[in-house]
Amino acid sequence: KAGVTQTPRYLIKTRGQQVTLSCSPISGHRSVSWYQQTPGQGLQFLFEYFSETQRNKGNFPGRFSGRQFSNSRSEMNVSTLELGDSALYLCASSSTGNYNEQFFGPGTRLTVL
Amino acid sequence: DAKTTQPNSMESNEEEPVHLPCNHSTISGTDYIHWYRQLPSQGPEYVIHGLTSNVNNRMASLAIAEDRKSSTLILHRATLRDAAVYYCILVRNTGGFKTIFGAGTRLFVKA
């Protein structure tokens, strides 16, 4: 089975721009979660989608949004980028989205200049 | 949200057992205890999880205290490839994931 894939792997943007990141979960997995990882804040939960619905949400401003498609692929969007949005964005998928293990992708490294 | 407390770092010798502790005094009855590890330049990797009883798998063992306020991840024979940041997290039954990662424990393995 192919693992979780994320595209692009690296991205450079400037302040004020917007960005869309993509995540393809493991085949058959319906839960997709997004995390932001920075040296200062560590791993922080952004949101989780299950069957095209946002089921859980972390404490991030509305500039961070996401969606999930019928094939379980997910995208997250960050509008009006700020320097502090520079981070590794990780996506994780799970089969049922409850207590099961999550499988993480390699992440997208976003740099905001 | 329930939080976990772990030592910032630990050191082990290669081929020796490693016991990584985690405190979760505010754990609720339905919280599962999960452990993940993150190797350099990679996303986190699932290690093991449990609810009340001790658990074993090919990677590690998880020992859970009787009151569930603490747990210990046991690597039976550390290898250099086990050098990573280990995260202990609580997964609550919210009808999905809303996992809170702490700072984790950075494990150094000496040859």
The CA-atom distances, in angstroms, between A42 and each of A20, A70, B27, B60, B69 are: 22, 31, 21, 24, 23
Contacts of A94 in chain B (CB under 8 A): 97
Return d(Cα B35, Cα B59) in angstroms, integer.
11
Return d(Cα B13, Cα B77) in angstroms, integer.
9
Please give, rounded to a whole number of angstroms, the shortest distance from the CA of B102 to a CA of chain A.
7
pLDDT tens profile A6-28: 999 999 999 999 999 999 999 99
Mean pLDDT of chain B: 91
The whole-number average pLDDT for the span A100-111 is: 93
The residues in B 52-111 lying below 8 A from A, measured between CB atoms, are: 87, 91, 93-104
Residue A97 scores a pLDDT above 60 = no
- pLDDT score for A99: 63
User: CB–CB of A56/A34 below 8 Å?
Assistant: no
Buried-exposed string B30-62: b where 16+ CB fall within 10 A, e elsewhere: ebbbbbbbbeeeebbbbbbbbeeeebeeeebbb
Quick one: pLDDT band at residue A68, thresholds 50, 70, 90? very high
User: CB–CB of B2/B22 below 8 Å?
Assistant: no
Interface test with chain A among B97, B99, B101, by most A beta carbons within 10 Å: B97
- pLDDT score for B8: 95
What residues contact residue B51 under an 8 Å CB cut-off, 6+ apart? B32, B33, B64
Buried-exposed string A45-84: b where 16+ CB fall within 10 A, e elsewhere: bbbbbbeeeebbebebeeebbbebeeebbbbbebeebeee
Per-residue pLDDT of chain B (111 residues; tens, 9 = 90+): 568 999 999 999 999 999 999 999 988 888 889 999 999 888 999 999 999 999 999 989 999 999 999 999 999 999 999 999 999 998 876 666 677 788 899 999 999
- pLDDT score for B1: 59
Contact B102 A107 (CB under 8 A): no
Residue position matching structure tokens 């089975």: A1
User: CB–CB of A87/A110 below 8 Å?
Assistant: yes
Helix boundaries (H) for B1-111: none
Contact A98 B46 (CB under 8 A): no
